[in-house]
Structure 1
Amino acid sequence: MAIIEFSVLSYYTTLIGDECITLGILFHNLTTNERVFEITTNWRRLASFDDELDIEFVKEYLKGIKYTVERNILNYNDNFSIREFIKHYVNEFRFGSVQSYRTDEVDDFIEKTKKIFLRFDYNKKERLNKNEERAYIRELLKSNRIEYSTKKISGKYDDNIKFDYVIGDYGIKIFIFEGKSLSHLISAAKTWSYNAYELKDKIKTVFIYDIERTDSEYFKTIMSILKEHSYQVLKFEEGFKFLLSLNNNNIAI
């Protein structure tokens, strides 16, 4: 069984800000010492994220990383540490924390990881469905020994509130907007916003949503509702990074 370590490279608009976009994923197979750096192909999305960014510079920058880390005739036998490599990236281009996974299906794991963190590089039919995404999350959390619960939490009126995951003091709810009528989801957003308010003394509610920023007034309304009482509201790829950063083993019940 192979042990795979990986880290996600993101571009931040500022050195101190939290808003970012995923540019690539660095994989290291500890069993074979093979390294793979997968790069986004959705340059239009990157240009929309920051219209002042030099896209051609970014392309060359990422190619440089790929050439440096992937095994070639010059570095074939070199020892490689993903943790040592990524610590030098501290500007607007930053790697996230290193995650690990044990698998017999290396190529399949890499492809699924790309579809999670680079999901907008794929058309809708190629992306993981809801059940596949949840299965991926569960396996990755287990592999990184991040304990989670799916038990219902008792609300103020003895009602049962079910998050997708409860990790430490955080309750995670994933909103699937893609392919749905946003106008019909406003009532669900109101319900979960109230849940976040009701549980604020015991749970920090984090909402994760699966579509890009949109000019739809319904989307803006939903975002305003969700942000009112939640701890954070995160885009899909940012949400997965947040999940993997939670190492607290105290599970709220």
Structure 2
Amino acid sequence: MDPVLYYSVLKYTPSAIRLESINVGIAVHYPSGKFSHFFETKNKRRIRAFDDEYDPDFFKMVMDSLAYDLDYGKKSDVSTLNLNFPDEAKRFKNITKKDFLDSKISYLANEFRFSPIQSMSTNDEELDKDINDLKDMYLYYDKPKKGRIDTVKSFV
């Protein structure tokens, strides 16, 4: 199995007419490590500024649902949660399959949509760094200006 990291950016688009969007999360999947995780933005203030009709309860419900669907495995500093629900084995039976991420994110519509899945080469030693770089790139405003990333490893 090739050491490839798959990822997709979650965009929040409050109006299908205006088509303005903001990145609010990133889903990652590392089949060879049996690992998947959803990272949501920490900068809720930015979302409120973007959408003055933002509903924090609805937003939290969607984010919690995505974490339930995607969080599997434990990988040092990038995944701090391993819930071990009774149905976990069934929900993640295809965690080693290349199309796992697509099967988990393809159902979203309306205000929340994932970007097309992309991939990048990685390995067990670089995985944490690569995931953190992706988070820093796509959830750019979660960090103070001085701590923001300016480049990410090239894609596969």
TM-score bin, normalised by smaller chain: 0.7 to 0.9
Shift in Å at residue 17 of structure 1? 3.7
Determine the structure 2 residue equivalent to 1:125. Answer: 146
TM-score where L is the length of structure 1: 0.50
CA deviations on 1:18-75 (whole Å, 9 max, x unpaired) are 3101111000101122111111010100000001110232022201210222123432
Determine the structure 2 residue equivalent to 1:91. Answer: 110
Segments ≥4 residues shifted beyond 6 Å: none
- Cα contact 2:140–2:148 (8 A) shared by 1: yes
| Aligned-residue RMSD, C-alpha | 1.7
- Mapped to 2, the partners of 1:47 and 1:114 lie a distance apart of 20
- Mapped to 1, the partners of 2:119 and 2:41 lie a distance apart of 21
Determine the structure 2 residue equivalent to 1:159. Answer: none
> Larger C-alpha radius of gyration, 1 or 2?
1
Match of 2:94 among 76, 79, 82: 79
- Structure 1: unaligned runs, 5 residues or longer: 144-253
Determine the structure 2 residue equivalent to 1:115. Answer: 136
- Structure 2: unaligned runs, 5 residues or longer: 73-83
Percent identity reads: 32
- Cα contact 1:2–1:106 (8 A) shared by 2: no
1:27-176, aligned counterparts within 5 Å? 27-71=28-72, 72-73=84-85, 74-76=87-89, 77-80=92-95, 81-104=100-123, 105-129=126-150, 133=151, 136=152, 139-140=154-155, 143=156
- Mapped to 2, the partners of 1:5 and 1:42 lie a distance apart of 24
Q: Secondary structure of 2:88's match?
A: coil
- Mapped to 2, the partners of 1:9 and 1:3 lie a distance apart of 20
Determine the structure 2 residue equivalent to 1:11. Answer: 12
What letter matches 2:108 in structure 1?
Y
- Mapped to 2, the partners of 1:17 and 1:65 lie a distance apart of 25
